């Protein structure tokens, strides 16, 4: 059994982990960053939309950008679309995006190890990798997704998860809107058509107890859009995965002498209504990496400061979305939700943003 030495171990090399590895290494830390996947970003498990602001703040977006999005079109049942103008963002090649972020982490000095899984985390923070190597980092950053092993090790797992399924199909005509389909049969979720140049990502998210409906509902939507001559019959790719929708699990903890930070999906930094999480992953990963570097230089408050700053940044939008999700699920518990309930549960409508005791209207204008 070999022993590795590092100040920081980053687990997961998606957007959160890669951003954390870059920031920590740039801050002078010795960083080892691992991912069980053999290639960054693959397989793609993402609808691949990012808000415009991320493109301003993150150079990797320009590397991976496929096309721009200008509006959102929301279809409630079979009614005509409600158009949300000036809903701007980018469709990206997620594999290229992740690869660009990992390249930046490598350039900053991080030791990147793909095809390397985290096997166990001991109560004192000692980590054993799949290859048998052990290490005892001073800081452990969990960026290992919805079912984070690091999060479970510190008692902060994601509990509520959404099941998703997505296909990539040909797009018949150029399109620059994200299409959203709200239907009562899509319990606790929605369907989407996101254009990506000459193809489109057509997908569906649903409550886990309705997982068996994913394929038939997606097949039905594909058939509808095929009949409307919006998409082609050929399916170029299948994907799917889990999205945490239970809110923030926690951001900082300790395992013996090891400081633990969570970022991205591992911390529950995903909008529980839209499922959007790339922006929050990059930003929280960068903040976690910076906090790790500061902690190693003697700033004992850096982990708590990270938790506080990330909570201030992401909690308002996540808390509102969690409230709306619970309201929507309560409507399902009473039967099939009506159109008003579906609209209240989606960001395109004013009712979604209406004041609650803990939230001002439109405190956040685009999903985290």
3-state helix, strand and coil shares in percent for the chain, rounded to the nearest 5: 35, 30, 35
- Please state, in angstroms and rounded to a whole number, the distance separating the CA atoms of residues 284 and 217: 34
pLDDT in tens, 79-125: 899 999 989 999 999 999 999 999 999 999 999 999 999 999 999 99
Hey, is 347 helix, strand or coil?
Answer: coil
Q: Using the structure block, give the residue that is written with the tokens 């320009």.
A: 62
* pLDDT tens per residue across span 121-178: 999 999 999 888 999 999 999 999 999 999 999 999 999 999 999 999 999 999 999 9
Is residue 359's pLDDT more than 70? no
Count CB atoms within 10 A of the CB of residue 242.
Answer: 17
Average pLDDT, the chain: 93
CA pair distance 70, 179, nearest whole angstrom: 11
Our measurement of the distance from residue 270's CA atom to the centroid of its chain's CA atoms, rounded to an integer in Å, reads 5
Closest-CA residue to 293 (of 102, 137, 149, 144):
137
In degrees and rounded to multiples of 5, residue 243 shows phi and psi of -125, 125
Residues 6+ apart with CB under 8 A from 236: 167, 168, 169, 170, 199
pLDDT tens-digit series, residues 208-222: 999 999 999 999 999
DSSP string, 182-201: E-TTSTT-EEEEEEETTEEE
183 vs 56: which has the higher pLDDT = 183
Q: What is the pTM of this model?
A: 0.92
> How crowded is residue 3: how many other Cβ atoms within 10 Å of its Cβ?
9
Asked if omega into 43 is within 30° of 0 (cis), the reply is yes
Residue range 161-243, CATH number = 3.30.9.10
Assigned CATH for 8-69+90-159+246-316 = 3.50.50.60
Predicted pLDDT at 85: 93
- Give the pLDDT mean for 18-42: 95
Sign of CA dihedral 240, 241, 245, 251: negative
Q: What is the pLDDT of residue 1?
A: 61
Query: What distance in Å separates the CA atoms of residue 2 and residue 9, rounded to the nearest whole number?
Result: 16
Please report the pLDDT score of residue 358 as a whole number: 45
Domain coordinates in residue numbering, the chain: 8-69+90-159+246-316, 161-243
User: For residue 4, what pLDDT band results from cuts at 50, 70 and 90?
Assistant: confident
Query: Per residue, what are the HEC states of 102-157?
Result: HHHHHHHCCEEECCCCEEEECCCCCEEECCCCEECCCEEEECCCCCCHHHHHCCCC
Among 312, 344, 317, CA closest to 330: 344
* CA–CA gap between residue 243 and residue 45 (Å, rounded): 10
């Amino acid at each position: 059994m070999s022993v590795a030495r590092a100040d920081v171990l980053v687990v997961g090399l998606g957007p959160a982990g890669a951003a954390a590895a870059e920031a920590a290494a740039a801050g002078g830390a010795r960083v080892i960053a691992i991912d069980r996947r053999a290639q960054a970003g693959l397989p793609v498990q993402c609808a691949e939309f990012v808000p415009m602001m991320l493109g301003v703040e993150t150079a990797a977006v320009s590397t991976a950008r496929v096309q721009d999005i200008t509006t959102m079109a929301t279809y409630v049942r079979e009614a005509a679309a409600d158009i949300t103008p000036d809903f701007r963002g980018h469709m990206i090649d997620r594999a290229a995006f992740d690869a660009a972020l990992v390249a930046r982490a490598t350039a900053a000095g991080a030791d990147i190890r793909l095809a390397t899984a985290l096997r166990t985390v001991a109560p004192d923070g000692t980590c054993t990798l799949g290859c048998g190597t052990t290490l005892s980092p001073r800081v452990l950053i969990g960026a290992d997704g919805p079912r984070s092993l690091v999060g479970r090790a510190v008692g902060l797992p994601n509990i509520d998860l959404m099941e998703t399924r997505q296909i990539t199909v040909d797009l018949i005509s150029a399109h620059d809107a994200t299409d959203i389909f709200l239907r009562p049969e899509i319990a606790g979720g929605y369907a989407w058509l996101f254009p990506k140049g000459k193809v489109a990502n057509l997908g569906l998210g649903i409550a886990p107890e309705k997982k068996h409906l994913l394929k038939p509902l997606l097949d039905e939507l594909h058939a509808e859009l095929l009949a409307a001559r919006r998409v082609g019959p050929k399916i170029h790719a299948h994907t799917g995965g889990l999205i945490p929708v239970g809110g923030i699990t926690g951001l900082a903890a300790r395992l013996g002498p090891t400081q633990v930070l969570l970022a991205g999906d591992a911390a529950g930094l995903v909008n529980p209504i839209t499922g959007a999480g790339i922006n929050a992953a990059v930003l929280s990963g960068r903040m976690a990496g910076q906090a790790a570097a500061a902690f190693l230089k003697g700033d004992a408050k850096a982990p708590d400061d990270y938790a506080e700053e990330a909570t201030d940044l992401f909690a308002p939008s996540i808390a509102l979305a969690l409230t709306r999700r619970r309201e929507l699920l309560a409507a399902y518990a009473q039967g099939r939700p009506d159109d008003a309930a579906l609209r209240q549960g989606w960001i395109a409508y004013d009712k979604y943003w209406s004041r609650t005791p803990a939230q001002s209207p439109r405190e956040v204008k685009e999903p985290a």
